[in-house]
Amino acid sequence: MTVTSGQTAAPALAEEGAFQPRQFARRFLQGDLGSLRVILGLVIIWIIFQSQNDRFLSAVNLTNLVLQVTAVGLISVGIVLVLLLGEIDLSVGAVSGVTSAIMAVANVKHGWAPVPALALAILAGAAIGLLQGFVLARFGVPSFVVTLAGLLGWQGAQLYVLGDTGTININDPTIVGLTGTFYSTTVSWVIAAVAIGAYVLASLVGRRRRAAARLPVEPLPALVLRLAAVSGAAIAAVAITTSDRGLPLAGLILVAFVVLFDWLVRRTQFGRHVFAVGGNAEAARRAGIRVERIRIVVFALSGTMAAIGGIMAASRLLAVNQSSGGSDLLLIAIAGPVVAGTSLFGGRGSVWSALLGALVIGSISNGMDLLALESSVKFMITGAVLLLAVVIDAIARKQRRAAGRL
C-alpha cells in the first residue's frame, strides 16, 4: 500500500543514499507517507476493538467487513478523482440508488438477463455523470450546486423508477453472486499467486527500464520491503478469508477497481492532467490541457463508479428499495478518502485512500456494532473520528507550508 508514496519517495531516497530514520519520521508526520499513517491508524483501531471484543479480528467478521465496505469503497474510487480536481460530487449516493433501481426494474420487472441489466445501470450512471459534468463545465456552475441538485433530482428519479411497489427483491443468481461468491481455498491461492507474481514482475521490469536509462532506482532493501509488504498483505487476506467462507469476489472487484484507477491516475496522461487541473487549473489551461473535458470525464467516471457501488449494495441487500443509496452512504463515501489523506482542495491524494478510508470507517462502524453501541453513540464517535482525521491533515499541511512547501 506504499505504492502511492513510492513514486516520490523512492528516487529521493536513492539520491540521498542511506535510509535516515529522522527524515523518515518527519516525512511520516508531514503526510508524505500518508498511506502508511492511515494503515497505522487502522491497526490501532483494530487493536482497540479486538481488546473489547475478541470476535472482531475473527475470520468471519473480517470477511463481513470486506463485504460491508465494498459498495462504499467503489463509490469512493470515483470520489477520489473528483476530489483530485478540487471538486465535489454530492450526487453519488442518489446516483447509486437510481442506477440500482434501474437494474432491478430491468431484471425483475422486465425480465432482462442479468448482464444487460447490469450494463444498463452502469451506462445510466455514466450518462448521469456526463450530464452533470457537462452542465458544470459548460455553464461554469460550481460542482457543489450541480450535484446538490442531482442529489435531489436522482432521488426523485429513483422513486419514480421503483414505482408503486417501492421495494424490488433481487434473486437473480448472477447479480446476487457479485457479493455472494466465495472462492475455494485452491482457487484463492492461485489468484493470490498470480496477483503477487504480476506485481513483482511489474516492479522488476520497471526497475530494469530505469536502470537501462541510467536513472536512479529504488534502493534494493526498499524494493524488497515493498514487495514483501504487498505479498504479505495478499497472503494474509487469502489465509484469513479462506478459513471462513473463502476469498470474496466482492473484495476482489473492489481491489481490482482500485488498482485499475490507481494506474489510470498515476500512470496515464489523463491522470496527470487530472492532477494538473487540481493543482493549478489556470496553468493546466495555458499548457493546452482541455480542462473542461477533463472535468466532464471525471464526473462521468464518478457516476459510473457510483452505479457500480450501487449494484454491489443491491446485490448484498438482495433488494433495491426507496432508501437505497440514501442515509449516510454519500457522506461516508466522501469522508473515507478524506480520512485516508486525499485533500479536499484538489491535487493531492491517491486512489488507495478510497479503499483505506472505507476500511477505517467500516472498521469503526463494524466494531461498534459488535459492541452493540446505541446509534446515537455511533454517530457521535464516527463524527469525532472524521474531525480528528481532517484536523491531522490540516496540521500536516501547515507543517508542509512551514517547511517551505505549499
Partner 1 sequence: MSNDIPVLEMRGISKSFGPVQALADVDFRVHAGEVVGLVGDNGAGKSTLIKAISGVQPADSGEILFEGRPVSISHPNDATRLGIATVYQDLALCDNLDVVANLFIGQEMVAGGVAGAFRALDEVGMEHRSHELLNQLAVTIPSVRSEVGMLSGGQRQIVAIARSLLGEPRVVLLDEPTAALGVRQTALVLELVNRLRDRGYGVVLISHNLVDVFEVVDRITVLRLGRNVADFKRSETTQQEVVAAITGALTGAGAGNSGGER
The residues of the shown chain that bind partner 1, judged by CB under 8 A, are 7-8, 11-12, 15, 209-210, 213-215, 267-270, 272-273, 275-276, 278-280, 282-284, 286-289, 347-348, 404-406
For the record, the C-alpha cell of 278 comes out as: 487540481
Alpha-carbon distance 104 to 117, whole Å? 8
Query: Which residue lies nearer to partner 1 by CB, 21 or 404?
Result: 404
Q: Looking at beta carbons only, is 8 or 184 nearer to partner 1?
A: 8
Toward partner 1, which CB reaches closer, 183 or 257?
Answer: 257
Please, which residue, 272 or 316, has the CB nearer to partner 1? 272
Q: For the residues of 172-228, what is the DSSP string, one character each?
A: -HHHHHHHH-EE-HHHHHHHHHHHHHHHHHHHHHHHHHHHHTT-----HHHHHHHHH
Nearer to partner 1, 7 or 323 (CB): 7
To partner 1, the closest distance from the beta carbon of 65 in angstroms equals 33
The C-alpha angle 366, 372, 374, rounded to 5 degrees, equals 100
CB of 403 to partner 1, least distance (A): 8
Question: Which of 212, 372 has the CB closer to partner 1?
Answer: 212
Residue 308 to residue 125: CA distance in whole angstroms: 8
Residue 73 Cβ, how far from partner 1 at the closest point, in Å? Answer: 23
Radius of gyration for the alpha carbons in the chain, expressed in angstroms and rounded: 21
State the minimum distance, in angstroms, from the CB of residue 199 to partner 1.
Answer: 17
Please name every residue paired with 147 in a beta bridge, in sequence order, or none if there are none. Answer: none
Residue 183's DSSP bridge partners are 247
Identify any residues that bridge with 248 across adjacent strands, giving them in sequence order.
182
Q: Quote the least distance from Cβ 42 to partner 1, whole Å.
A: 25
Query: Cα separation of 73 and 92, whole Å?
Result: 12
Q: How far is the CB of 295 from partner 1 (least distance, A)?
A: 16
Residue with cell 502511492: 4
Q: How far is the CB of 160 from partner 1 (least distance, A)?
A: 38
Q: Which residues fall within 8 angstroms of residue 210, CB to CB, at 6 or more apart?
A: 216, 217
Question: Whole-angstrom Cα distance, residue 312 to residue 125?
Answer: 14
Nearer to partner 1, 12 or 256 (CB): 12
Q: How far is the CB of 204 from partner 1 (least distance, A)?
A: 14
Nearer to partner 1 by C-beta: 75 or 284? 284
CA distance 98 to 70: 18
